[in-house]
Amino acid sequence: MYKEIWALIKKDLQLEWRSGQAWSSSILYVFTTAFVVYITFINIPANLWNPLFWIIILFTAVNSVSGSFSSENGSLRLYYYTLMDPVKLMVSKTIYNVLVVTFLSFLCFAGFAFITGNPVRHLGNFLLVLLAAGVGLSITLTFTAAIAAGVKRKTSLLTILSFPLLIPTILVVLKLSADAIGLINDSTNNQDLITLFALDILLLGLGILLFPFLWKD
Amino acid sequence: MNIKKHWWKLLGVVIVGYTLVAGLIVPLKPGVIGVSHKNANAGDSLRMEVVGYNTHFEKGKEDLKLWLKGDTTFFIKGQDVAIFDDNTLEVTFVIPAMLPFDQSVVELSLLIQNGIDGPFILPSAIFVTHSPDSVRVHTDEWVEKIDLEIGSSVMAFPFRNILKETIRNTYFHVPLWFTMIFILLGSVFNAIKYLRTGITIYDEKSSAYATIGLLFGILGLLTGAVWAKNTWGAYWSFDIKQNMTAIALLIYFAYFVLRGSLEESAQKGKVSAVYNIFAFATLIPLLYIIPRLTDSLHPGSGGNPAFGGEDLDNTMRMVFYPAIIGWTLLAYWMGNLLYRWQTVKNKILFQ
């Protein structure tokens, strides 16, 4: 089971690595957005830095996940369908997207902090929040990308479908990162983290449960 | 037509009719809208105008009594009551120079009682400033034996400051939300059935119920907005529940966009059923878990159940619970009508 999932993740990574185009476009997307935000705001106070940063992350995540099911279309999809278990495919896609989104958000943090200055006080906590956010965003986005896969004008539909679903995650993450930056002093951090992970597990479970129905048509 | 099969529709109409009539006609209990003074100093002799609501000052003037109440043992009796009409009177309170409290500002409630209205209270009617460093003697001087009588037992809804007549919205705003959740639950139930069986009927039912659920959600939002304007001062006040509700409605709008953008019927049914289940599962934390983690203007934030004993008394329960049942029955009926209308439309289209 793990072998198959790992093989699928490796396949995706290799495909991306060989084409190179997707990586470079995602990375460029992050830096361009960060720079445009910097150009428009110039001086960014910490209480503005926090939401701006997460909006960039949100769009980066949507942008990078939106294509995750587009390679499996037509005859290739049929080939996969005869070959493997949809649950494994779903899990592998989710893990792959977690890797990509987390990598991009670390990169985004580095880039944004480089240009605008780094307001983060508790770096360890902030990186933990980045990781948790990467997991949360990827789970929901992977599932909605699977839903939107068969539709024309996929990206706009993905935005409509996923943004409302992502708001609980974003709200909790915003609060946690505000605490890491030192804007607020919150003692209920653990409770928020538990809420976030409970939400993630709920969404992941539903995704795994429901994906087979999407897959076989 | 077999009437025995349709009894619940009649029941729904009767119950909603009952809640409309009872919810709007039953009067409020007597209460105090306002007093002319908000602050006083210890030692003042205070001539105060009291404006009541649904009160019977004139009719019940023989045994009308007024007190300023500190705690359970501290009462100041009102003197020289001058009654203008059933809702306005003037009364004098002689506030003693020494009050048996530690705080420098003492919060006193106004307690009024007569034979017709029974006892009623205006909490925190007046704030009295005194110097607590003087010797505090808790003497019997302050203790007034008061025995509260039960007022005439007419059916009436409680009077609450700020809420006043808008308390009736409890029978519309809250049941509409309950109905939305129930009908969306029906929609999810049908979506699951569709995924298991693949029979088109369930998909069509699921979509019809989701439409009705969205309609009730919008109605709940609008009744809430009107209520918020009257009590909190604005239609929208960045309250966590309002925001989460807006998001929940966005999720269901997205559901219809998704349905619209898929053409093939089997794929449409499958994909939208999957999204429906996913959406409902995120709706629960949006509406019921996240709002409780933060402050909200709504009752029930901070982990409390939405309805404590304070918010809903027995008279209100007699209207509130039937309202939930009645609206749910009506919504179910509406959903079925919509489903049947769509089926007929599709039949004609594909002939």
Q: Which of A147, A163, A199 sits opposite B285 (nearest CB)?
A: A199
Instruction: Tell me: pLDDT of A74 over 70.
Output: no
Residue B100 vs residues A46, B58, B129, B144: alpha-carbon distances, Å: 50, 34, 12, 14
Range of the domain at A199: 2-215
Residue A72 vs residues A38, A77, A78, A174, A209: alpha-carbon distances, Å: 37, 5, 8, 34, 20
Instruction: Tell me: pLDDT of B150 over 60.
Output: no
Please give the pLDDT value at position B60.
Answer: 78
Distance from CA of B263 to the nearest CA of A (A): 9
Percent of chain A whose pLDDT exceeds 70: 95
DSSP 8-state class, residue B158: P
Distance CA(B217)–CA(A20), nearest Å, equals 47
What kind and span of H or E run contains A91? helix A86-116
Q: Is the dihedral of CA A110, A112, A118, A120 positive or negative?
A: negative
The β-bridge relationship of strands B39-41 and B118-129 is parallel
Amino acid (1-letter code) at residue B99: L
Residue B331: pLDDT band by 50, 70, 90 thresholds?
A: very high
The CB density around residue B228, as the number of other CB atoms within 10 Å, is: 21
DSSP 8-state class, residue A202: H
**What percent helix, strand, coil does chain B show, rounded to 5?**
50, 15, 30
Query: pLDDT tens for residues A83-112?
Result: 777 888 888 888 999 998 999 999 999 988
Residue B302: pLDDT band by 50, 70, 90 thresholds?
A: very low
Instruction: Tell me: pLDDT of B306 over 50.
Output: no
Residue B1: pLDDT band by 50, 70, 90 thresholds?
A: low
Global ipTM: 0.81
Residue of B nearest to A214 (CA): B271
Round the average pLDDT of chain B to a whole number and report it: 81
Distance from CA of A196 to the nearest CA of B (A): 10
Name the domain count of chain A: 1
Taking CB atoms and an 8 Å cut-off, how many pairs form between chains A and B?
A: 71
Contacts B281 to A, Cβ<8 Å: 202-203, 206
In the CATH hierarchy, which fold is given to the domain comprising B31-142?
Immunoglobulin-like (2.60.40)
B192 touching A, CB under 8 A? Answer: no
Instruction: Tell me: pLDDT of B336 over 50.
Output: yes
The β-bridge relationship of strands B105-114 and B65-69 is antiparallel
Distance CA(B254)–CA(A164), nearest Å, equals 9
B262 touching A, CB under 8 A? Answer: yes
Query: pLDDT tens for residues A26-41?
Result: 888 888 888 888 889 8
Which structure tokens are listed for B260? 């619209």
Q: At what angle do helices B265-284 and B240-261 cross, to 10 degrees?
A: 170
Beta strands in chain B, from DSSP E residues, in sequence order: 31-35, 39-41, 45-53, 65-69, 75-77, 79-83, 88-94, 105-114, 118-129
Please give the pLDDT value at position B144.
Answer: 55
Nearest to B291 by CA among B232, B238, B223: B238
Nearest to A97 by CA among A45, A52, A56, A141: A141
Nearest to B187 by CA among B121, B277, B247, B107: B277
Please give the pLDDT value at position B325.
Answer: 92
Buried b (16+ CB within 10 A) or exposed e, B135-170: eeeeeeebeeeeeeeebeeeebbbbbeebeebbbbb
Distance CA(B14)–CA(B9), nearest Å, equals 9
Provide CB contacts within 8 A for B105, sequence distance 6+: B127, B128, B129
Residue B309: pLDDT band by 50, 70, 90 thresholds?
A: very low
- Mean pLDDT, residues B119-123 taken together: 81
Q: Would the CB atoms of B258 and A202 count as touching at under 8 Å?
A: no
Residue B308: pLDDT band by 50, 70, 90 thresholds?
A: very low
**pTM of structure:** 0.80
Contacts A163 to B, Cβ<8 Å: 250
Contact of B54 with B159, CB cutoff 8 Å: yes
Which of B244, B250, B267, B274 should be substituted to probe chain A, the one whose Cβ sees the most A Cβ atoms within 10 Å? Answer: B274
Please give the pLDDT value at position B186.
Answer: 94
Residue B303: pLDDT band by 50, 70, 90 thresholds?
A: very low
User: B25 burial class (0-12, 13-18, 19+ CB within 10 angstroms)?
Assistant: exposed
SS3 B238: coil
Residue A217: pLDDT band by 50, 70, 90 thresholds?
A: low
Residue B87 vs residues A38, B49, B54, B59: alpha-carbon distances, Å: 63, 11, 7, 10
How far does CA B177 lie from the centroid of its chain?
12
Phi, psi of B120 (to 5 degrees): -145, 165
Residue B307: pLDDT band by 50, 70, 90 thresholds?
A: very low
Percent of chain B whose pLDDT exceeds 90: 17
SS3 B336: helix
Task: Find the range with the poorest average confidence among A148-162, A193-207, B140-154.
Answer: B140-154
Which structure tokens are listed for B321? 């619970």
Contacts B271 to A, Cβ<8 Å: 147, 150, 214
How far does CA B209 lie from the centroid of its chain?
26
Distance from CA of B247 to the nearest CA of A (A): 6
Q: Which of B254, B258, B266 sits opposite A164 (nearest CB)?
A: B254
Distance CA(B227)–CA(B87), nearest Å, equals 25
Beta strands in A20-126, from DSSP E residues, in sequence order: none
B267 touching A, CB under 8 A? Answer: yes
Distance CA(A101)–CA(A162), nearest Å, equals 15
Beta strands in B42-114, from DSSP E residues, in sequence order: 45-53, 65-69, 75-77, 79-83, 88-94, 105-114
Provide CB contacts within 8 A for A51, sequence distance 6+: A174
Instruction: Tell me: pLDDT of B319 over 60.
Output: yes
Q: At what angle do helices A123-148 and A189-215 cross, to 10 degrees?
A: 20
Query: pLDDT tens for residues A131-172?
Result: 888 988 998 898 888 888 877 777 788 888 888 888 878 888
Q: What is the CA radius of gyration of chain B?
A: 27
Provide CB contacts within 8 A for A212, sequence distance 6+: A86, A87
Q: Would the CB atoms of A168 and B271 count as touching at under 8 Å?
A: no
- Mean pLDDT, residues B23-42 taken together: 82
Q: Which of B248, B262, B290 sits opposite A171 (nearest CB)?
A: B290
- Mean pLDDT, residues A3-23 taken together: 79
Round the average pLDDT of chain A to a whole number and report it: 83
Q: Would the CB atoms of B258 and A157 count as touching at under 8 Å?
A: yes
Q: Which of A152, A164, A213 sits opposite B274 (nearest CB)?
A: A213
Per-domain residue ranges for chain B? 31-142, 164-349
Q: Which of B247, B258, B293 sits opposite A161 (nearest CB)?
A: B258
B275 touching A, CB under 8 A? Answer: yes
Query: pLDDT tens for residues B43-73?
Result: 778 888 888 888 888 887 777 888 888 777 7
Query: pLDDT tens for residues B248-275?
Result: 888 889 999 888 888 777 788 888 899 9
User: From edge to edge, which strands make up the β-sheet containing B105-114?
Assistant: B39-41, B118-129, B105-114, B65-69, B75-77
A201 or B295: which leads in pLDDT: A201
Query: pLDDT tens for residues B166-192?
Result: 888 888 888 898 899 999 999 999 999
Residue A6 vs residues A1, A66, B262: alpha-carbon distances, Å: 9, 21, 33
Selected residues 123-152 of chain A with any CB under 8 Å from a CB in chain B: 143, 147-148, 150-152
Please give the pLDDT value at position B14.
Answer: 92
Residue A98 vs residues A9, A38, A53, A56, A205: alpha-carbon distances, Å: 11, 27, 18, 17, 16
